[in-house]
Amino acid sequence: MSPASRLIGLTFAVFLAGVAFLAGPVATAQAGPLPLDPNGMGGVFQGIQVFQNKGGPVTLTVDVEYAVYAPGDFTKSFGAGSDPSGGTQYVYAYEAFNINVPPNPRSLAILTVGLQQGAQAQSIQYLPVIYGNFGLLPVNSSFGGTPPNAARWDYTGLGTTIPVGQNSQILLFTSPYNPTLLTSSVSGGGLGASNILPSPIPEPASWALLGIGSAMLLYRRLRARNIIA
């Protein structure tokens, strides 16, 4: 990772962290290991975000604990074999807590983390219970969109959701890129809520290639319509 790309990612993350601070307070830790894990990257890439929607007579409140681990550091906390990248990539880890906030709190069904094009997110899954049983396992873990624009953990299959007062297993994916902060969401009981969570930021070179590709596509379309020579 080049110094320039790290500086760009950190600058953007600090800006988004300021936005999050102005938007509202961060919750205190619930019971998971992620926010205080000394092997996490720390700063704005480790902590808790509150997702809440008070939809009239019902409420959805979810605390998402998170930590990003630099390549090779995830196994220091969870043991050999726990990192699906084998220590070669950043590990993005999350744990969702469904909080009992009146009136009529709803079950949690889905956690979605936003992804930028070119993030190369891989190996979406949950932490195998042999490395720690922290909560309920999702029915499905998948990347959504083509190219992927979201990482999604779904608890809705077979009538399964995360009841009030319970929480997910540690949910994770890997990427070769270091973190920024990106809009993410939770949903359940007909309600949804958004906040920001750590997500990979592509290298500046990747964005340049995407820009060149878009420009070439536009050129071909204009040429096909005889708008340009």
Place of tokens 């007579």: 57
Chain segment 69-83, per-residue pLDDT in tens: 999 999 999 999 999
Distances (CA, A) of 19 to 1, 181, 193: 26, 11, 16
Does residue 215 surpass a pLDDT of 90? no
Q: What is the pLDDT of residue 106?
A: 94
Q: What is the pLDDT of residue 205?
A: 44
37: pLDDT confidence band, cut at 50, 70 and 90? very high
Q: Phi and psi (nearest 5°) for 86?
A: 70, 25
Going by C-alpha positions, the residue among 67, 96, 73, 103 that lies closest to residue 85 is: 73
Burial of residue 81, with CB atoms counted within 10 A of its CB: 0-12 exposed, 13-18 middle, 19 or more buried: exposed
Ordered domains of the chain (ranges, CATH) = 3-202 (2.60.40.1510)
Chain segment 169-193, per-residue pLDDT in tens: 999 999 999 999 999 999 999 999 9
